A and B are shown apart, each in its own frame.
Chain A
Amino acid sequence: MIVIQILIILFIVFAITKVGLRYKDKIISLQEFILWLIFWLIVCLVVIFPDITSYAANLVGVGRGVDLVIYLALLLLFYLVFRILVRLDKQEKEITKIVRKIALDDDKKNNL
């Protein structure tokens, strides 16, 4: 096993314990916990047996396994960034709503 593999596996162990703690504190649901667990286990599998990706890459017509992983990772990242932006936008709107309500309510109070 090469060094990078050990490092990544250590990171995965770290990530899984984090996910587990989140689940224990009821911040994420059981479904989310299982999804993350499966995700990290797949990553683990790929790290230990990198040849799996070559096999999958050949299946979909991409030359190298590593390339396929990078393509998928990029797609996932773009998707997550988009989701975060949407959520951020929603939160901004909600903050505005709260700030507006406070501004209007304060005025009412002052005029009583």
Chain B
Amino acid sequence: MHLPNSVWIIIPAYNEQENIKQVLKALLEVTANIVVVNDCSKDMTKKYVRAMPVTLLNHLVNRGQGAALQTGTEFALKKGAEIIVHFDADGQMQVKDIFKIIKPIENQQAEIVFGSRFLNQDSKIPWTKKYLILKPAIIFNWIFTGVKLSDAHNGFRALSKKASQKIKITQDGMAHATEILEQTRIKNLKYQEIAVEIIYNQYGQGLRSGFKIIKDLVFARFIKR
């Protein structure tokens, strides 16, 4: 099965040499519209990606995942993307879920679709991560952005062209996930959640990262009003 030609996959990559090759191989089975934004990795990521038939954009200096996503988005929009999918380079997301996550946009039921680990029991999440990090994050997002989702800070999402033009990611770091939610509400975009499977091969972001996200968000709010 192939994805429509108007769908672009954006992969921010920072030191992802472990999994990037397999991830790209799996993705190339379904599409050629792949943009990897290498966020100044210090390992072999750049070399591995360059050897594959995908677009490689290089950040000269490390700017964070949010910045990389925005770079990839601007590129895809210029290429005429109608749907943009955010995908991770760590091999935890499943290519088959891309078809599910773009469905609501294709059917014009939503402008932005969030992958959720909690909608059904697809994903096995380490319990400390689930109850100490993700659940509080969900509540925080709800209070902070007014958007209530069943999952938080899950990098798997799909945006329509309209949504990606309206949402400009200014949070360079990990706080972009909350920023996207906030923008979804402010710009009045129709959103949906779709169950996706995340297979954990590493813990990902821990508590410290969570506190940094809150700091970034609070600071941004503090200086921008």
- Collect the chain A residues with CB atoms within 8 Å of residue B170's CB: 93
Interface hit among B69-77, B101-109, B153-161, B195-203: B69-77
Interface hit among B17-25, B57-65, B125-133, B181-189: B57-65
Scan B78-89; emit 1 where CB is below 8 A from any A CB, else 0. 100000000000
Interface hit among A3-11, A54-62, A69-77, A101-109: A101-109
B172-225 interface (Cβ within 8 A of A):
172, 219-220, 223
Check: B67 CB closer than 8 A to any chain A CB. Answer: yes
Q: Interface of chain B, helix or strand or loop or mixed?
A: mixed
- Of all chain B residues, the one with the shortest Cβ separation from A102 is B60
Which listed residue, A85, A89, A95, A107, touches B63 by the CB 8 Å rule? A95
Q: Interface of chain A, helix or strand or loop or mixed?
A: helix
A92 to B61, CA, bound (A): 11
Which listed residue, A85, A96, A102, touches B172 by the CB 8 Å rule? A96
B55 touches A95 (CB 8 A): no
Check: A21 CB closer than 8 A to any chain B CB. Answer: no
Check: A99 CB closer than 8 A to any chain B CB. Answer: yes
- Of all chain A residues, the one with the shortest Cβ separation from B170 is A93
B55 touches A103 (CB 8 A): no
Point out residues on A near B: beta carbons under 8 Å.
85-86, 89, 92-93, 95-96, 99-100, 102-104, 106-107
Q: Which 7 A-B pairs have the closest CB atoms?
A: A103-B57, A100-B71, A96-B67, A96-B63, A99-B59, A86-B223, A99-B60
